[in-house]
Amino acid sequence: MKYLYIIRHAKAESSSYEIDDHDRKLLNKGIKRANNLNKWLKNKTSNLEALFCSSSLRTLQTMDIISHDLNYSVNKIVDKKLYGASDKMLINYLSCLDDKFNNVGIIGHQPSLQELALTLVSSYAEGYDKVLNSNLSTSNAILILLNIKRWDQISPRVGILADYFDSKNI
C-alpha cells in the first residue's frame, strides 16, 4: 500500500503583467491556511517520507510552511517538471518514484492535481464522495491510499480517497 497526499499550493498573489506566474508569492491568508495544513499533517499517523514540489515560488513557500517543525524529517524534492504538468505527466512522474517511499506528497497546481485525483480514485471513505466534485482550493489536501506495492504499478482507479483537508474549515 502506498499513500499519496495531493496538495495544492497556498493562496498566492494574483496574476499580473508585472509578475511572472512562476514568481507569485503567498498572501498572508495563504500563509495562515498553509499553517493549518501543517497542523493537520502533524496529526496524521503515518509520516510523510518525501514531498515532491513544483518549482514555482508559491509551491516552494507552501512546502516550507507545511514541512516546518514536523516531528520527523521529510525529503524535499523540487522539480521544474511539476510546474504546469498535466495529470498524465504527474502519473508518469509518480510511476518513477523510488519504492523506498511509501508515504509521499505532491505539491502543485490546478487543474492537474484534481484531475490526478479523479483519475486515481475508484472509491471513497465514508463522507468523502463529494470531495472530487468541487474545486481543490488552495492549501487543501487529499489523501489517497493506493492499492499498489510499487510506484510503477500506479494506474487509473487504484486508489481510495481516504482523507481530505479543507483549510477554510479550521
Alpha helices in the chain (DSSP H): 28-42, 57-67, 87-95, 112-120
How long, in residues, is the chain?
170
- Which residues 6+ apart lie within 8 Å of 163 measured at CB? 125, 128, 142, 143
Burial class (CB in 10 A: 0-12, 13-18, 19+), 15: exposed
CATH dotted code for 2-9+24-169: 3.40.50.1240
What are the pLDDT tens digits along the chain (170 aa)?
999 999 999 999 988 888 888 999 999 999 999 999 999 999 887 889 999 999 999 999 999 999 998 888 899 999 999 999 999 999 999 999 999 999 999 999 999 999 999 999 998 877 787 888 778 899 999 999 999 999 999 999 999 999 999 987 76
pLDDT at position 167, please? 85
Domain ranges of the chain: 2-9+24-169
Q: How many CB atoms lie within 10 A of CB 32?
A: 16
pLDDT at position 130, please? 80
pLDDT at position 125, please? 78
Instruction: Please give the grid coordinates belonging to residue 142.
Output: 487529499
pLDDT at position 132, please? 83
pLDDT at position 21, please? 87
For residue 106, the cross-strand partners are: 6, 52
Which of 58, 54, 64 minimizes the C-alpha distance to 19? 58
- State the first-to-last Cα distance of the chain, in angstroms, to the nearest integer: 30
Determine phi and psi for 111, rounding to 5 degrees: -90, 0
pLDDT at position 53, please? 97
